[in-house]
Amino acid sequence: MRRAMTAAALSLLALAAVAPAAQGRQEARYFQDLTGSFPGEIFFTAIFQDKHGNGKFRPRSLIAYYLGVQVSCNPGGPSDLIITKNKDKTVGHFKQRLTKKGRFATRFESELDPQLRPPIGTLSGRVTRKGVNGAFNVEDWDPNPGVRENCVASGSISATPCTTAEFPSPNTPICRTIASG
């Protein structure tokens, strides 16, 4: 009986030691498009998680993005569109869980306040350790209430890793919006 109690106590102690390691760690990683493949800029914040505690971080969710792009309006000419989404409830809640292969797809109009005449469009791509590749498509946006301007834009995204000014990395550039703000 004493041997069984000792074995049970050791099992519980081993389980308690293994359980925190099984949860693993997570970290936020930042990405920005510096290629200039479209007139504007885009930034992403993704959560990478090491579920098994072996040091292999994998992308799990996208928690923020900033899309600043020039759109073409008819009539009206060019106009600037800025969409900022993050997990903060004051800006508008956003958290996109990634597929096993790191893919995501989100619609603009489902995330913004309908009173502000939100743009209609999509943002999709794939998050990897090396960056975020994908595309955006603004199908329709009317920036001025009561006027049909039919603003559109589209482009490809090739965002590379960047770092914060607080925790700089020697091999990674500092993100422009974080560095300037």
- 158-180 pLDDT per residue, tens: 988 887 767 677 767 777 755 44
Residues near 40 by beta carbon (within 8 Å), at least 6 away in sequence: 67, 68, 69, 70, 155
The confidence score (pLDDT) of residue 105 equals 93
Q: What residue ranges do the domains of the chain occupy?
A: 25-180
Give the pLDDT confidence of 80-100 residue by residue, as tens digits.
Answer: 888 888 776 555 567 889 998
CA 132/CA 77 separation, integer angstroms: 30
Predicted local distance difference test score (pLDDT) of residue 113: 55
Provide the pLDDT for residue 118.
78
Q: How far apart are CA 181 and CA 66, in angstroms?
A: 14
Question: 114 Cβ partners below 8 Å, 6+ apart?
Answer: none
Q: What is the pLDDT of residue 103?
A: 95
The predicted structure's pLDDT at residue 124: 94
pTM above 0.75, yes or no: no
How many CA atoms lie less than 13 Å away from 117 in the CB half-sphere? 13
* Span 95-105, pLDDT tens digits: 889 998 999 99
The pLDDT tens digits of the residues spanning 1-52 come to: 444 443 333 344 444 444 444 457 888 889 998 666 666 788 888 999 988 8
